[in-house]
Amino acid sequence: MSAIPARPWHALFAPLPPDAVVRRQPVASPEILATPEGAAIAGWEQLIVELSAGAAGLRVVMVVLDATGRPISASDLVLYRSEPGAGRAGGSPSMTKVRQHSVGGRLEADGTFRGTRWLTVGVEGVDEDEPRLESTKSEPSAADAAGLTALVADLMRRL
């Protein structure tokens, strides 16, 4: 029986590489935290891992911790881009194809996950100011919740 090949680290829910760097920072700037409204999120932090997959795209994993250090929300986002070349015959502009997969939402104290899964696809012309994108929203599956929970556990171990 052959083993199932592992997904590359830049795929949604794939394990992070051992050398992935976790950046830890406040959820808001000091100016916002100094306001009466900002007091509600004082002590909250975000853990962020940004990974470039070169031509394959970009992956960003983010976890928000409340003031007690408990993870309260998480997301995993993978952006794939492909640029077919320097334009087509007849003067058509070069096009960039974009595909983004993401899942994010709230981690409840009882261990459950409430969130949304998004698939965004589009083609944008190089000369266009606004890309043409189409997003499809869906409910995350149990496997999605398990994958996100595993990523959160991995980031918490790395602290």
45 within a domain of the structure (yes/no)? yes
10 within a domain of the structure (yes/no)? no
What digits encode the pLDDT tens for the residues 71-124?
999 999 999 877 665 444 444 455 667 889 999 999 999 989 999 999 998 866
4 within a domain of the structure (yes/no)? no
pLDDT value for 94: 59
Instruction: Report the number of distinct structural domains present in the chain.
Output: 1
Confidence bin at 1 (pLDDT 50/70/90): very low
pLDDT value for 10: 77
Asked whether residue 15 carries a pLDDT value surpassing 80, the answer given is yes
What digits encode the pLDDT tens for the residues 45-72?
999 999 987 766 899 999 999 999 999 9
Question: Mean of the pLDDT values across residues 141-158?
Answer: 94
Look up the domain containing 154 and give its range: 23-158
18 within a domain of the structure (yes/no)? no
2 within a domain of the structure (yes/no)? no
| Cβ contact 118:102 at 8 Å | yes
119 within a domain of the structure (yes/no)? yes
pLDDT value for 122: 82
What digits encode the pLDDT tens for the residues 17-51?
999 999 999 999 999 999 999 999 999 999 999 99
8 within a domain of the structure (yes/no)? no
Q: Which residue has the higher pLDDT, 5 or 15?
A: 15
Asked whether residue 5 carries a pLDDT value surpassing 60, the answer given is no
Say which residue the tokens 């997904």 belong to: 7
> CA separation (Å) from 20 to 50, 69, 106, 118?
8, 21, 23, 24
9 within a domain of the structure (yes/no)? no
